[in-house]
C-alpha cells in the first residue's frame, strides 16, 4: 500500500493507492492547541488530534492566525498534519494498520532535500525517531510505525506522474506555494540540481503586500481571515458593502507578485528558454490569469494542488516495484 503526502504551509494533500484504487484527502495546514473542554462540532476537513498528551484541532476550521509561517517543515504542525492525512486516508479506504505493508512518501523543501544532514534529520523526525506513532484522531485511537519514509523534493509537479509527457522535452516548473515559491528546471525527467531554488514569494507574501495596500488606501485593518476571503473574492467588502474600486488594487497587487516571482527566477539564472513553462501549486490556481499575462503559452497544471503528490506516489511505486 502506497501513501504520499504533500503538507504545504497552506494545504495538506494526500493520496493512497491500494489494489488499484486511489483515495484522496485535502485540508488546511492550520493547528490550534485546545483544552479537554472543547465541545464545538468539527467542521468538514477538520480533525481533533491528541498526541503526546496534548490535544489540537487541525484543518479548515482553525483561524488563519494559526498558520505556520516558519521556513522549516520539521515542526509539530507538519508532523501531525502528515499523520492525520495518513489516518484519514486509511479510514477512507476502510483499511486497518495491522498486517499492512505501508510505504510513505512526503514532501521536503529543496534546501532540505539538497542537504544529507538536514534530510536525514527531517526523515527521522517524521518517522517519530523509530518509535510507534500513537495518536487519537476524532476520539479514536491509532498506532502505526513508519519505516524508510521516502523524501521527495517540492516543485517537481507532474513530471514523474506522467514521464512520457516530459521525457522528450525541457521544462521549467514553478511551484507557487503558501510560504515559498519553488523552481526547478528538468531536462526530460532529470532535474537540474543547480536550478533548484526557493524564494519566500509564496501566497503569504502576496497577502502581506495586499494587507499593506488595503490599509494605506482605506485606513481599515484587515485580519488574516479577511485576507484569505478577499483574495478568493477578488474584491474587498466593508460594513456589508462591496468596495468595487478595490478590485483594481487587488488585481494590481497580484500582477506585481507574479512579476516579483519571475524577476527572482531571472536573477538566479532562469532564461525560460525551455520547451514547457509549467506552474503548479495552489498559488497557480489563484494567480491563473496573471501567469498567462506573462507567459501566454504556460501550462497551468490541471490538478495543480495534487501535482506534486501524484509524482510522489509514482516514485513510491517505482521504488518498491517487485
For residue 36, pLDDT over 80 is answered with no
Mean pLDDT of 292-297: 96
Taking each helix axis as running N to C, give the angle between helix 224-233 and helix 203-218, from 0 to 180 degrees, rounded to the nearest 10: 90
For residue 11, pLDDT over 90 is answered with yes
- Looking at 126, 153, 180, the residue that finishes a domain is 153
Say yes or no: 197 and 117 in one domain: no
pTM for the complete prediction? 0.90
For 73-105, what is each residue's pLDDT tens digit? Answer: 899 999 999 999 999 999 999 999 988 889 999
CA distances in angstroms from 22 to 25, 203, 275, 313, listed in the order given: 10, 29, 31, 10
- Maximum average pLDDT range among 131-135, 193-197, 207-211: 131-135
Answer yes or no: is 126 within a domain.
yes
* Overall domain count for the chain: 2
Residue ranges of the alpha helices (H) in 13-155?
Answer: 76-92, 110-113, 116-126
Cα 133 to Cα 292: distance, rounded to the nearest angstrom:
44
pLDDT score, position 322: 60
Cα 251 to Cα 233: distance, rounded to the nearest angstrom:
11
Say yes or no: 94 and 205 in one domain: no
Task: Please name which of 197, 193, 179 lies closest in space to residue 281, comparing C-alpha atoms.
Answer: 179
Say yes or no: 194 and 119 in one domain: no
Answer yes or no: is 249 within a domain.
yes
Say yes or no: 264 and 131 in one domain: no
Residue 18 near residue 186, CB atoms below 8 Å: no
For residue 69, pLDDT over 80 is answered with no
Say yes or no: 135 and 181 in one domain: no
Say yes or no: 137 and 262 in one domain: no
Residue 89 near residue 16, CB atoms below 8 Å: yes
Say yes or no: 68 and 189 in one domain: no
- Looking at 111, 129, 153, the residue that finishes a domain is 153
Say yes or no: 15 and 77 in one domain: yes
Answer yes or no: is 160 within a domain.
no
Say yes or no: 181 and 251 in one domain: yes
pLDDT score, position 211: 92
Answer yes or no: is 162 within a domain.
no
Answer yes or no: is 161 within a domain.
no
Say yes or no: 59 and 96 in one domain: yes
For 219-270, what is each residue's pLDDT tens digit? Answer: 888 888 888 889 888 899 988 899 999 999 999 999 999 999 999 999 999 9
Domain of residue 58 covers 2-153
User: Which CATH number belongs to the domain containing residue 70 in this structure?
Assistant: 3.30.420.40
Say yes or no: 14 and 65 in one domain: yes
Answer yes or no: is 322 within a domain.
no
Say yes or no: 122 and 246 in one domain: no
Amino acid at each position: 500500500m502506497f501513501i504520499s503526502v504533500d503538507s504545504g504551509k497552506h494545504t495538506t494533500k494526500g493520496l493512497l493507492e491500494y489494489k488499484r484504487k486511489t483515495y484522496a484527502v485535502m485540508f488546511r495546514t492550520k493547528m490550534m492547541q485546545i483544552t479537554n473542554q472543547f465541545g464545538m462540532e468539527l467542521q468538514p476537513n477538520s480533525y481533533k488530534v491528541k498526541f503526546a498528551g496534548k490535544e489540537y484541532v487541525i484543518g479548515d476550521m482553525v483561524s488563519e492566525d494559526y498558520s505556520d509561517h516558519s521556513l522549516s517543515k520539521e515542526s509539530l504542525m507538519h508532523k501531525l498534519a502528515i499523520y492525520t492525512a495518513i489516518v484519514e486516508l486509511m479510514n477512507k479506504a476502510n483499511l486497518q494498520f495491522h498486517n499492512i505493508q505501508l510505504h510513505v512518501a512526503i514532501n521536503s523543501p529543496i534546501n532540505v532535500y539538497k542537504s544529507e544532514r538536514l534530510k536525514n534529520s527531517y526523515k527521522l523526525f517524521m518517522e517519530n525517531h523509530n518509535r510507534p506513532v500513537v495518536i487519537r484522531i476524532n476520539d479514536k485511537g491509532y498506532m502505526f510505525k513508519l519505516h524508510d519514509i521516502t523524501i521527495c523534493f517540492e516543485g517537481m509537479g507532474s513530471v514523474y506522474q506522467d514521464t512520457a509527457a516530459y521525457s522528450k522535452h525541457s521544462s521549467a516548473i514553478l511551484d507557487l506555494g503558501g510560504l515559498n515559491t519553488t523552481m526547478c528546471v528538468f531536462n526530460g525527467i532529470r532535474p537540474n540540481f543547480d536550478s533548484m531554488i526557493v524564494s519566500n514569494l509564496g501566497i503569504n507574501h502576496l497577502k502581506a503586500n495586499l494587507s499593506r495596500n488595503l490599509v494605506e488606501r482605506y485606513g481599515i485593518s484587515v485580519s488574516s481571515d479577511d485576507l484569505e476571503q478577499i483574495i478568493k473574492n477578488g474584491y474587498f467588502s466593508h460594513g456589508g458593502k462591496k468596495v468595487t474600486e478595490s478590485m483594481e488594487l487587488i488585481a494590481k497587487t497580484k500582477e506585481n507578485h507574479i512579476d516579483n516571482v519571475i524577476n527572482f527566477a531571472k536573477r538566479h539564472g532562469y532564461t525560460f528558454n525551455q520547451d514547457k513553462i509549467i506552474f503548479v501549486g495552489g498559488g497557480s490556481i489563484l494567480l491563473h490569469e496573471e501567469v498567462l499575462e506573462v507567459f501566454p503559452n504556460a501550462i497551468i497544471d490541471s490538478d495543480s494542488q495534487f501535482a506534486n503528490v501524484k509524482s510522489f506516489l509514482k516514485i513510491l511505486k517505482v521504488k518498491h516495484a517487485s
